[in-house]
Amino acid sequence: METQEKIPRYNLNEAEEKKLILREYRSLLKALKPKLKPGDKELIRTAFEMAAEAHKTMRRKSGEPYILHPLAVAKICVEEIGLGVRSTICALLHDTVEDTDISLKHIEREFGSEIAKIVDGLTKIDYVMDVNVSQQAENFKKILLTLTDDPRVILIKMADRLHNMRTLDCMRREKQLKIASETIYVYAPLAHRMGLYNIKTELEDLSMKYLEPEAYKEIARKLAETKRERTRYINEFIRPLKEKIEKANLKAEIFGRPKSIHSIWNKMKKKGISFEEVYDLFAIRIILDSPPEREKEDCWKVYSLITDEYNPLPERLRDWLSNPKSNGYEALHTTVMGPQGRWVEVQIRTKRMNEIAEKGLAAHWKYKEGKDDESRFDKWFQQIREMIANQDTDSVDFLQDFKTSFLAEEIYVYTPKGDIKMLPIGSTALDFAFAIHSEIGIKTIGAKVNHKLVPISYKLQSGDQVEIITSNKQKASEDWLNIVVTSKAKAKIRDALKEEKRKTAEEGKAIVQKKFEQLGISYTQHNIEVLTNWYKLPSTLDFFYQVAVKNIDLKELKEFKVYGDKLEPPRPPKPVSEKPDLSLGTLKKDTELVIFGENSDKIVYHLANCCKPIPGDDVFGFVTTGKGLTIHRTNCPNAAKLLANYSHRVVKTKWAKNKEISFLTGIKIVGLDDVGVVNRITNLISGEMKINIAALTIEAKEGLFEGNIKLYVHDKEELDTLVKKLRALPGIESVERYDTELVTQ
């Protein structure tokens, strides 16, 4: 359902506003105090005054003065990311070039080229999310190039996005959906990859607050209700550990922290369990105060003390001490069986590791000084530079490629000589081959993983040792693109396929020349283009290629007319009847259910099969080429991608009241296999609630049954009532609505 735009509650007079702005400015200076050098205060004041003057007539959607936004962003940079004076100046000025009369030259004159360059990078990012997709991919590349030049750009952008998400309440519903989707699709994974775990968690939770409001409120409520019980349990769990750590003469802080709402929700969805069944609602964190030379040793000592007290789950041990993540994260994670038979995750870090975990990239630099080894971050940036250099400029898949290659978690794989390679989760033996060298990738015919022969599509696990088997006769093929996940491999395969196509096209070119000679037609660029257009091919290269692979036999050339040395095509043949393009205006009016836009024009639509919306669901419309308006639920598996990437095709949508039409949906019921259970379920659905059942399958196994029911309901209200009544039946364990394509007509 569509929500009304919120009326901002903001009613300060001018004097109070000035006080508020000054208070925020002083609070920023206070946060910066430890980092201030002589002359810094004056620079910050100049930047603040310049921004305040530039934005003086502007207001945010809430009604408050715009300058409060740059001040808040600067404060997040300092307090939550750990950035310094230069970044503060950039954060204060980050919207001036785009929104006001201040130019980059002006900023450069006042603050120097370094600050001007970062502000320029921030200005470019702001154009990214509002244009068409290929343009968006192009701009995203520009951001990443700036990021690899100066990562502070993306860190300040993170602070900007976080403040926007914290103040999203005042925006219109469709704007909230668009911004929240972008955040979950690009910014949260990027924050995670930059090592900004706290910010990543908050961005995910805030996105969920707008994309899944009901689930968010429900989990937040349950977390609040169970807080006292959790605190009691954490204290009971920690007590014996504290004693052991003190006895071992180690200095450590121990505390428990709840898991984020988003991660609890993810676990519930992935495992199909209720809130009560999520065993690790919190993690225990042990922060050691150890000197650099003893860090590893002390962490393992603490691990040993924990596992003396509680039994560990061996497969849940995560050792990021020996192999830190590429974003610099170091820690030891284990899951142990605590009191009352509950699993508890324990994270062991030192103060230095904790600062890197909390402040990510900014802290990483602080500790990198004086080290001569190339950091993992630098390697990561280098890979991004390579990817951007190799990427097709018009590739709309750029964002998706970037996400799978650079924002995924990594696995560690070994070469036969024991060298380590980091690859994204889901990488195959073929990805590994390209990671070693593109020449090896192209010639790969198989691999040996841990000395066993496997196909090139084999998915690698952390710790695998991989040997690649090559052959000089091997050539890249189109289906390889579906096997690899890394950008480097995809780019190299596309290059090889192009090269192969070009060679084949040369043969086609020779065939065409010969045919022209036989028919006495001049071989000119004009004539080749006439033929290319006539066969409806995108380029002359494609035309020659199709001739070479015998898809075009040039018989039709006899029907062409020749005027001088120019070919004239015959009249176009009747096109093969295709499905008509169902634009919004021509769609078949089978029902009038959705009202979109500001007025009440009735419009025909089509319900997305991926999420099967029903009236009452929170939905948006998406203009699809060839299908007109498609209605998706806002929590549809594809929603984040559509809203983040194609926001210009999203239409504000709400349901019109219509009780005559029924919609197909589905529910899954799990319960105890009891005599008469099917009878009770069908009596409730058909008899009591008069709902039509389209299909019903029930499987019983070892005392439990699982039922899948497709049924026709009028709206979400009716479905919610049914689910509530089914849950109340004796012996029913859980009733869930399907969110996937299981419900198709």
pLDDT in tens, 40-86: 889 899 998 888 888 888 888 878 888 899 999 999 988 888 888 88
Collect all residues with Cβ–Cβ distance below 8 Å to 490 and sequence separation of at least 6: 401, 481, 484
Q: What is the pTM of this model?
A: 0.61
Q: Please tell me whether residue 47 adopts helix, strand or coil conformation.
A: helix
> How do strand 420-424 and strand 410-414 relate by DSSP bridges?
antiparallel
* Dist CA 669 CA 374 (whole Å): 54
| Residue 657 confidence (pLDDT) above 50 | yes
pLDDT score of 307: 92
- Which tokens hold the place of 669? 């019921």
* Dist CA 395 CA 516 (whole Å): 36
* Dist CA 696 CA 688 (whole Å): 17
* Dist CA 638 CA 624 (whole Å): 14
pLDDT score of 372: 39
pLDDT band at 308 (very low <50, low <70, confident <90, very high): very high
Bridge partners for 700 per DSSP: 705
Lowest mean pLDDT of 134-138, 510-514, 625-629, 699-703, name the range: 134-138
- Is the CB of residue 622 less than 8 Å from the CB of residue 632? yes
The highest-confidence range among 123-132, 208-217, 556-565, 580-589, by mean pLDDT, is: 208-217
Lowest mean pLDDT of 77-81, 339-343, 518-522, name the range: 518-522
- CA 81, distance to chain mean position in Å, is 21
Torsion of CA 354, 80, 208, 726, to 10 degrees: 50
- Is the CB of residue 334 less than 8 Å from the CB of residue 316? yes
pLDDT band at 270 (very low <50, low <70, confident <90, very high): confident
214 labelled catalytic: no
| CA-based nearest residue to 632, from 272, 165, 174 | 174
- Is the CB of residue 23 less than 8 Å from the CB of residue 15? no
pLDDT score of 376: 55
pLDDT score of 673: 78
pLDDT band at 37 (very low <50, low <70, confident <90, very high): confident
The enclosing H or E element of 334 equals strand 332-337
pLDDT score of 318: 86
Walk me through the domains of the chain, giving residue ranges and CATH numbers: 14-215 (1.10.3210.10), 220-368 (3.30.460.10), 376-494 (3.10.20.30), 495-568 (no CATH), 594-655 (no CATH), 663-737 (3.30.70.260)
Q: What is the DSSP letter of 249?
A: T
DSSP string, 419-444: -EEEEETT-BHHHHHHHH-HHHHHTE
The per-residue pLDDT of the chain, averaged, comes to 78
- Is the CB of residue 159 less than 8 Å from the CB of residue 81? yes
- Position of tokens 């039409």? 661
- Which tokens hold the place of 208? 């969920």
Residue 168 backbone dihedrals phi, psi, to 5 degrees: -80, -10
pLDDT band at 650 (very low <50, low <70, confident <90, very high): confident
- Which tokens hold the place of 613? 């919306």
Expressed in angstroms, the distance from the first to the final Cα of the chain is 24
Bridge partners for 603 per DSSP: 594
DSSP string, 185-221: IIIHHHHHHTT-HHHHHHHHHHHHHHHSHHHHHHHHH
User: Burial code of 501-526, b = ≥16 C-beta within 10 A, e = fewer?
Assistant: beebbeebbebbeeebeeeebeeeee
- Per-residue pLDDT averaged across 565-594, rounded? 47
- What are the C-alpha distances in Å from 421 to residues 150, 426, 554? 25, 14, 50
495 labelled catalytic: no
- Per-residue pLDDT averaged across 352-371, rounded? 64
Active-site hit among 17, 24, 40, 99: 99
* Dist CA 309 CA 330 (whole Å): 24
- CA 102, distance to chain mean position in Å, is 34
* Dist CA 68 CA 481 (whole Å): 48
* Dist CA 420 CA 432 (whole Å): 11
- What are the C-alpha distances in Å from 545 to residues 57, 58, 139? 61, 58, 33
* Dist CA 684 CA 279 (whole Å): 33
The enclosing H or E element of 470 equals strand 466-470
* Dist CA 733 CA 53 (whole Å): 62
Question: Can you list the positions of beta strands (E) in 146-281?
Answer: 252-258
Collect all residues with Cβ–Cβ distance below 8 Å to 565 and sequence separation of at least 6: 521, 522, 524, 527
pLDDT score of 588: 35
pLDDT score of 123: 73
Q: Which amino acid is at 611?
A: C
- CA 264, distance to chain mean position in Å, is 18
* Dist CA 567 CA 581 (whole Å): 32
Higher pLDDT, 660 or 92: 92
Q: What is the 3-state secondary structure (H, E, C) of 618-682?
A: CEEEEEECCCEEEEEECCCCCHHHHHHHCHHHEECEEECCCCCCCEEEEEEEEEECCCCHHHHHH
Q: Please tell me whether residue 166 adopts helix, strand or coil conformation.
A: helix
Active-site hit among 98, 138, 150, 739: 98
Cα-Cα-Cα-Cα dihedral sign, residues 28, 32, 38, 40: negative
- Is the CB of residue 734 less than 8 Å from the CB of residue 670? yes
* Dist CA 407 CA 297 (whole Å): 31
